[in-house]
Amino acid sequence: MPTRSTLTKEEISERIHVLWDELAEFEVAHHDQALEHLLKGLCELVGAQNANWFGAVRLPDIAPGDPIHGWRPRFLRFLYPAKPLDTAVKRQIERLEQTEPSIDITTIRNISFTGRLRANRLADLVPPEWFDSDYYRDFYLGVDHSDAIWAGCPVNVDAEVYFGIFRSSAHPPFTADECDTVREALRGLKWFHRQFLLSHGLLVASAPLTPVEREVLKGLLAGLTEKEIAASQNRGLHTTHEYVKMLYRKFSVKNRASLMALWLGKLA
């Protein structure tokens, strides 16, 4: 397989279009598998070793002096999770949830571009001396990430999705062209970002979904009956029915047809 540096612009464009087509082929209930496929595709496009995705929402009550204006991460997925990554992410999220959060400049700069599609390398976000900081040593080199591309994709005024694309220390830094490739690959996927946030109960739900609710939702979107959903999860039919009713309330719909219409963007 050709490396990223040997591909022409036409070949890169073709790969991006193939990736879009492949994502469109996933059934709506298979959002987790689709996200994994997208993360793998992004890594292959730019020769990266790992990637993550997280959804962020803007809190309704913004504390005075909040450096990231109320934006907080709510769900995060790594393509290749590992305990050191989980520990580092937990520490960063704890910082963000403090009353007076201690925020690194990379996060502040990323948030400053909210409302528009963007992708930036670390070198685009920080001054050269940042690479000598404790933050870079702990949260990047400490998990064998020497460089990253951070991309942000607005879904609405209060919700965005972010992608981190990472290179290990055995590889050279990302180029500006590779950063442009990531941006272009994400440009045509607003529909996908919207569906994935919906799968977590964001955007239109009155509250985020619990893990059990997400599993019931997958069953509904896959066309399973409540009896089949109950059997697949080893739960009683009455309990499953109560979860279904809760999902309808959270999404402000009355039946499965309306839920599916919402998912497909046919219901305001």
Task: Please compute the mean of the pLDDT values over residues 217-240 and round it to a whole number.
Answer: 93
Question: Nearest Cα to 216, choosing from 189, 197, 235, 196?
Answer: 235
Query: 24 with 132: CB under 8 angstroms?
Result: no
Query: 205 pLDDT exceeds 80?
Result: no
Average pLDDT of the residues of the chain? 88
Domain 4-188 has CATH 3.30.450.80: yes
Q: Which band of pLDDT confidence, cut at 50, 70 and 90, is reported for residue 1? A: very low
Residue with the larger pLDDT of the pair 159 and 147: 147
Task: Please compute the mean of the pLDDT values over residues 204-225 and round it to a whole number.
Answer: 84
Residue 209, pLDDT score = 82
Residue 204, pLDDT score = 66
Task: Please compute the mean of the pLDDT values over residues 155-166 and round it to a whole number.
Answer: 92
Residue with the larger pLDDT of the pair 58 and 17: 17
Q: Which band of pLDDT confidence, cut at 50, 70 and 90, is reported for residue 133? A: very high
SS3 for 155-211 is: EECCEEEEEEEEECCCCCCCCHHHHHHHHHHHHCCHHHHHHHHHHCCCCCCCCCCCH
Q: What are phi and psi of 196, to 5 degrees?
A: -70, -40
Query: 12 pLDDT exceeds 90?
Result: yes
Say which CATH architecture domain 211-263 belongs to.
Answer: Orthogonal Bundle (1.10)
Query: Cα–Cα distance between 187 and 174 in angstroms, integer?
Result: 19
- Comparing 23-37, 85-99, 228-242, the range with the smallest average pLDDT is 85-99
Residue 67, pLDDT score = 84
Residue 189, pLDDT score = 95
For the stretch 69-104, pLDDT in tens is 888 888 889 999 998 888 888 888 777 776 666 789
Query: Cα–Cα distance between 226 and 239 in angstroms, integer?
Result: 10
Sequence-ordered list of residues with C-beta below 8 angstroms from that of 238, at least 6 positions apart, any chain? none
Q: What are phi and psi of 112, to 5 degrees?
A: -65, -15
Burial class (CB in 10 A: 0-12, 13-18, 19+), 158: middle
Q: What is the DSSP letter of 265?
A: T
Query: 196 pLDDT exceeds 50?
Result: yes
Residue with the larger pLDDT of the pair 263 and 133: 133
- Comparing 108-117, 221-230, 234-243, 254-263, the range with the smallest average pLDDT is 254-263
Residues of the chain with CATH 3.30.450.80: 4-188
Residue 142, pLDDT score = 93
How big is the CA angle at 145 (ends 96 and 47), to the nearest 5 degrees? 120
Task: Please compute the mean of the pLDDT values over residues 150-174 and round it to a whole number.
Answer: 93
Helix axes 176-187, 9-25, angle to 10 degrees: 30
Residue 22, pLDDT score = 97
Query: 199 pLDDT exceeds 90?
Result: no
Q: Which strands, in side-by-side order, build the sheet including 159-167?
A: 71-78, 50-58, 159-167, 147-156, 118-121
Residue 45, pLDDT score = 95
Residues of the chain with CATH 1.10.10.10: 211-263
Task: Please compute the mean of the pLDDT values over residues 22-44 and round it to a whole number.
Answer: 94
* Alpha-carbon separation of residue 73 from 23, 197, 208 (angstroms): 24, 12, 12
Kindly provide the b/e burial profile for residues 20-39, where b requires at least 16 CB atoms within 10 angstroms of the residue's own CB: beebeebebbbbeebbebbb
Query: 43 with 151: CB under 8 angstroms?
Result: no
Q: Which band of pLDDT confidence, cut at 50, 70 and 90, is reported for residue 37? A: very high
